[in-house]
Amino acid sequence: MFKEDLDFLEPIFQHNSIDDFDIIIVNQTTDDKQLISINPKIKVINSLERGSPASRNLAIKNATKDICLMSDDDIVYQPNLLQTIKKAYRDYPKATLISFEAIDEHGKLYTNYYPEGKHNKETLKKIYTWVITFRRSVFKEHDIYFNHYFGVGSVFKGVTEYVFLRNAYDKGLSMQHISKTIVMHPDESSGRKMGGDNAIYARAAMHQRFYGNLSYLWLVKYIFFLLRHRFIAIKDISEKFSIGIKGINKYKELKTQGKIDQLHDY
């Protein structure tokens, strides 16, 4: 957001050659702060829209290459990035999406990833945006984009990736996970604040999206999960449960109003 020069790319590609990639930057900004690129391999889209889903969808729609790699502006790609991704798609030629792994700034795995193999509904929950790669033509053919209602700056401020990935999974696409680190991301993702109001609100809405009224049962179990693991205190139970109910009801309201298209999920 509000970038005015391309210097922020240097630390991201410090272990790789930036010339190996065709880059699309969606700069959410204002009319008076425009980012300009004279490099033909770096395309800039200055957007007045807000929210991470909007910027990611703009990037996908303007992509032209065979394989897309999702990114962010606070990451550092690990050495041999291009070779790692190319090898993965050679090894799994039928895969339409391949996820990799991330480390934090201390060199530890960013999350407790599931073993390498084909994705299922559970394994997708461990995947964050910046380890996602996919075949552009297949996602375009199946009309798969990020849901505008899930993500930073949106109604439901979380579970962005899971809704995106489940949309692809539910359409029968072949999705593979590889236990290979490609990126460093600081250990401060908003999506990891499990007991936070935004996380509960968004997760409850997400479960309403995929599981209907079973989301109420899930919410009860989730609140006690948060309590058991000390993400919340006993005194917080009633308030956190109420926040989850509000998330479920908000999703149902948007669906009733016809504002959410579950067929295309954006």
Say yes or no: 201 and 237 in one domain: yes
The domain of 35 spans 9-189
**Residue 228 neighbours by CB distance under 10 Å:** 9
Q: Last residue of some domain: 189, 219, 246? A: 189
182 close to 78: Cβ distance less than 8 angstroms: yes
Is residue 13, in this structure, part of any structural domain at all? yes
Do 132 and 211 fall within a single domain? Answer: no
Of residues 261 and 159, more confidently modeled: 159
Structural domains counted in the chain: 2
Whether residue 266 lies inside any domain: the answer is no
In a domain, 86, yes or no: yes
CATH code, domain with 22: 3.90.550.10
- Looking at per-residue pLDDT, the higher value among 54 and 99 belongs to 99
Q: Is the pLDDT of residue 130 over 70?
A: yes
Mean pLDDT of the chain: 91
**133 — pLDDT class (breaks 50, 70, 90):** very high
